[in-house]
Amino acid sequence: MIFLIQLQHPDGFYDNEDKELLQTPCPPPTDFTTQDPWRIMRIQGELVEGFDALSKIGPAVTIFGSARFQSDNPYYQATVDIAKHLATAGMTVISGGGPGIMEAANQGAVQVHGTSVGCSIQLPNEQSSNPYQTIALKFRYFFVRKLMFIKYSVGFIIMPGGFGTMDELFEALTLVQTDKIDHFPVVLYSSDYWRGLLNWMGEQMLKAGSIAPEDLNLFTVVDNPDEAARIIIDNSRKHGFLRS
């Protein structure tokens, strides 16, 4: 049975809440519903609903990647395979709830009757949520959505993607590096895709002293869907998140 939990917003139209929250209004707003104290109540509501929906999903893995890849893209199919392995092992699969790699992640979990979570976001060019979700959440605020990814995951798989994927990758690495979260596995899929970035990190960041040599050990690069899933599954069993 599939359960759909959708965070609906009563106005029904797109609000750029992140932009309105982060900009300095001039002149200051007079309508209380556009002032920051009112926004705090909205943020609180999203946090409570998100925590309530995800509090019992068990050990979860978030898969990040591009929304632009179609189903005939090899990264799409690799993501489906990875998600199948994870869900078969008893892990919940979380994605951003949209198309592309997000859809592939949810699809793989659903195909083996696993728990498939989508945390989508309101955007100016609205992307439809994919149909492969057993729990579907929709957020106004990026930082609330990102908190859900981090709070409920015991591992992260980073498929090829664009700016959003880079943001999610480096946030996960920063939180591990600074010990704000446990050292959960961060797995990058496709050495071909990531090679240029990784070379730059070694040749520029490490050489300049802006990262330490051990920081390059905070992630693992793989080229096989089975291996990507196995790293997460083995670590989860080692630390008691999954039964052996």
pLDDT digits (tens, 9 = 90+) for 153-170: 999 999 999 999 999 999
For residue 4, being part of any structural domain is answered with no
Question: What average pLDDT is seen over the chain?
Answer: 89
The residue with tokens 């670590």 is: 235
What average pLDDT does the segment 22-42 reach? 66
Positive or negative torsion for Cα 201, 229, 83, 184? negative
**Nearest residue to 2 via CA among 116, 139, 152:** 116
**Nearest residue to 101 via CA among 76, 83, 81, 133:** 76
Is pLDDT above 50 for 125? yes
Q: How far apart are CA 138 and CA 128, in angstroms?
A: 11
Is pLDDT above 50 for 14? no
- The CATH number of residue 204's host domain is 3.40.50.450
Is pLDDT above 50 for 120? yes
Spell out the alpha helix ranges (H) of 119-162: 142-151
What's the structural domain count of the chain?
Answer: 1
pLDDT digits (tens, 9 = 90+) for 172-213: 999 999 999 999 999 999 999 999 999 999 999 999 999 999
Is pLDDT above 90 for 39? no
Contact 17, 41 (CB under 8 A): no
Q: What is the pLDDT of residue 27?
A: 56
Is pLDDT above 90 for 107? yes
- Structural domain that includes position 177: 17-238
Which is more confidently placed, 17 or 69? 69
Is pLDDT above 70 for 127? no
What share of the chain in percent tops pLDDT 90? 78
Q: What is the pLDDT of residue 132?
A: 98
Q: What is the pLDDT of residue 77?
A: 98
For residue 9, being part of any structural domain is answered with no
Question: The whole model's pTM is what?
Answer: 0.86
Band of pLDDT at residue 13, cut at 50, 70 and 90: very low
For residue 213, being part of any structural domain is answered with yes
pLDDT digits (tens, 9 = 90+) for 216-236: 999 999 999 999 999 999 999
Q: What is the pLDDT of residue 37?
A: 80
Band of pLDDT at residue 26, cut at 50, 70 and 90: low
What share of the chain in percent tops pLDDT 70? 85
Contact 87, 95 (CB under 8 A): no
